[in-house]
């Protein structure tokens, strides 16, 4: 979110703006080029940019964008003039923050949790399997004990064995953890000693306890584990995944609820993407022919080669013009298709994990940077045993492109089945002469996904 101009933007992994909205109006490609053509979004500049990586920030952005429309209509004024987009964002952010910290939002949720909570009957069994296999389970939340107890009771107790409550799943429970400070500082620790949340200060934590505050270092000491012996599961890229990994080298699992919808949208949108890629391939092939003809003509004009001869330069120019017309025609077809790419997930913003046809979004880059694994829900661990070890798949690099073709050319299979090199090709540049684009080359099936990525 661009607080300086009141815009919502979608950025690729390099920080380049791909789509944008001012207020609730989508901006044209020309507007985006004029405003952000030379701009590389730097998320460290928090004075201007807000990274929408939580449900809270998305809600904040929705309200802010609607109020930007009203600000443009002159409906908000302070003193003699209109307020700025920056000032408006500060007002929205403070209002939502007060609603949250004063407990108004949580009080409404507690009154009718069925309106706000999507129950997952398999989640309790997933945690039971982990606990029964010898794993130590820990719950760390910024919420107070009253809210935590009511919400966990609603979400877990109906699906646990008779006589068992949600507290029995965990070796330790920490409420009001004050993340991200929980990962940065050694804060005071309190034990919750009564059902209504009465607390007393303690010097250290023990297994089976219910605590308030504390720190990640205290957790490691109390459980007797550290570093990659811990898998931290959360839904916040920065507060959960990033700090746990950077400060303590914990393993991290990120919960992304939108993942299920995105996988379904990718499947439904695959025919569209295949058709789009086919057009892009055609344009690339025609462009190669066009550029080779231009280069040959250039060498002939400057007398740099005797191999290139043009008996009919006018005919060559006509051919170039025809090829250019074909590419322009393809562009007319490709442009609208690119705009519609991802509409099965979101008609305005496209896919969550992608920015453009072949590149990743900034959000997906952050996910890959800080999450060892990611999935749509905790219960997906039921599809694996508690003893599974997740290994990352092989990643294709830019210079892997056309490697199979290079292999066949340099080390083709002879008729007798023996591998042999071609001496006539030994002096060629082969794959070493290919200019590799920045970014990963997609696998043969880039849309292939699993429950747990």
Asked whether residue 311 is assigned to any structural domain, the reply reads no
Which of 162, 196, 225 terminates a domain? The answer is 225
Co-location of 73 and 127 in the same domain: no
Co-location of 130 and 219 in the same domain: yes
Answer yes or no: pTM beyond 0.85: no
Q: Are strands 81-82 and 77-78 parallel, antiparallel or unpaired?
A: antiparallel
**Run of H or E including 201:** strand 199-202
Co-location of 49 and 124 in the same domain: no
Q: pLDDT value at position 240?
A: 85
Residue 192's CATH number: 3.40.50.1000
Tell me how many domains the chain contains: 2
Co-location of 47 and 90 in the same domain: yes
Asked whether residue 131 is assigned to any structural domain, the reply reads yes
Asked whether residue 141 is assigned to any structural domain, the reply reads yes
Asked whether residue 243 is assigned to any structural domain, the reply reads no
Co-location of 125 and 219 in the same domain: yes
Q: C-alpha distances in angstroms, 380 versus 264, 268, 383, 406, 450?
A: 16, 22, 6, 40, 10
Co-location of 131 and 213 in the same domain: yes
Q: pLDDT value at position 305?
A: 67
Which of 102, 128, 144 terminates a domain? The answer is 102
Round to whole Å and give the CA distance between 28 and 335.
Answer: 12
Q: pLDDT value at position 69?
A: 94
Asked whether residue 306 is assigned to any structural domain, the reply reads no
Which of 225, 256, 282 terminates a domain? The answer is 225
Structural domain range at position 88 = 7-102
Asked whether residue 149 is assigned to any structural domain, the reply reads yes
DSSP string, 20-80: EEETTEEPPHHHHHHHHTT----TT-TTTB----SHHHHHHHHHHHHHHHHHHTT--EETT
Co-location of 84 and 152 in the same domain: no
Q: pLDDT value at position 80?
A: 53
| Below-70 pLDDT ranges, the chain | 77-81, 305-312, 413-453
Co-location of 153 and 97 in the same domain: no
Co-location of 98 and 125 in the same domain: no
Co-location of 67 and 157 in the same domain: no
Asked whether residue 21 is assigned to any structural domain, the reply reads yes
What digits encode the pLDDT tens for the residues 24-66?
Answer: 999 999 999 999 999 999 988 999 999 998 888 999 999 999 9
Q: pLDDT value at position 435?
A: 36
Q: pLDDT value at position 43?
A: 87
Asked whether residue 450 is assigned to any structural domain, the reply reads no
Q: pLDDT value at position 311?
A: 63
Co-location of 96 and 179 in the same domain: no
Co-location of 76 and 17 in the same domain: yes
């Amino acid at each position: 979110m661009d607080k300086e101009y009141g815009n919502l933007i979608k950025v690729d992994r390099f920080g380049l703006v791909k789509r944008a909205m001012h207020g609730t109006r989508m901006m044209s490609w020309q507007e985006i080029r004029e405003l952000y053509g030379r701009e590389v979004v730097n998320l460290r500049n928090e004075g201007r940019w807000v990274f929408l990586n939580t449900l809270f920030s998305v809600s904040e952005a929705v309200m802010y964008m609607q109020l930007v429309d009203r600000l443009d209509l002159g409906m908000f004024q302070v003193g003699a003039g209109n307020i700025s987009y920056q000032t408006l964002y500060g007002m929205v952010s403070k209002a939502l923050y007060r609603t949250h910290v004063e407990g108004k939002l949580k009080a409404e949720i507690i009154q009718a949790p069925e309106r706000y909570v999507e129950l997952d009957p398999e989640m309790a069994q997933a945690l039971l399997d982990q606990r029964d296999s010898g794993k130590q389970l820990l719950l760390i939340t910024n919420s107070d004990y009253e809210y935590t107890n009511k919400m966990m009771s609603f979400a877990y107790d109906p699906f646990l064995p008779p006589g068992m409550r949600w507290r029995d799943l965990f070796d330790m429970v920490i409420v009001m953890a004050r993340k991200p400070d929980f990962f940065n500082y050694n804060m005071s620790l309190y034990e919750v000693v009564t059902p209504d949340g009465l607390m007393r200060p303690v010097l250290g934590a023990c297994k089976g306890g219910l605590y308030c505050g504390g720190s990640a270092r205290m957790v490691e000491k109390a459980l007797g584990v550290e570093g990659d012996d811990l898998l931290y599961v959360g839904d916040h890229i920065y507060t959960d995944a990033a700090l746990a990994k950077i400060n303590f080298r914990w393993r991290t699992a990120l919960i992304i609820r939108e993942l299920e919808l995105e996988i379904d949208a990718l499947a439904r949108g695959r025919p569209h993407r295949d058709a789009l890629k086919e057009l892009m391939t055609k344009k690339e092939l025609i462009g190669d022919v066009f550029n080779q003809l231009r280069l040959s003509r250039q060498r002939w004009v400057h007398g740099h080669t005797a191999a290139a001869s043009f008996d009919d330069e006018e005919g060559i120019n006509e051919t170039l013009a025809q090829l250019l017309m074909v590419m322009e025609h393809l562009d007319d077809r490709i442009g609208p298709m690119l705009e519609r790419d991802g509409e099965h997930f979101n008609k305005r913003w496209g896919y969550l994990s992608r920015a453009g046809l072949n590149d990743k979004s900034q959000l997906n880059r952050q996910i890959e940077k800080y999450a060892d694994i990611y999935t749509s829900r905790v219960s997906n661990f039921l599809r694996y045993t508690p003893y599974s070890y997740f290994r990352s798949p092989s990643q294709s690099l830019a210079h892997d492109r056309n490697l199979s073709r290079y292999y066949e050319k340099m080390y083709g299979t002879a008729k007798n089945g023996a591998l042999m090199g071609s001496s006539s090709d030994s002096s060629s540049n082969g794959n070493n002469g290919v200019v590799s684009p920045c970014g990963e080359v997609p696998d043969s099936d880039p849309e292939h996904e699993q429950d747990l990525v």
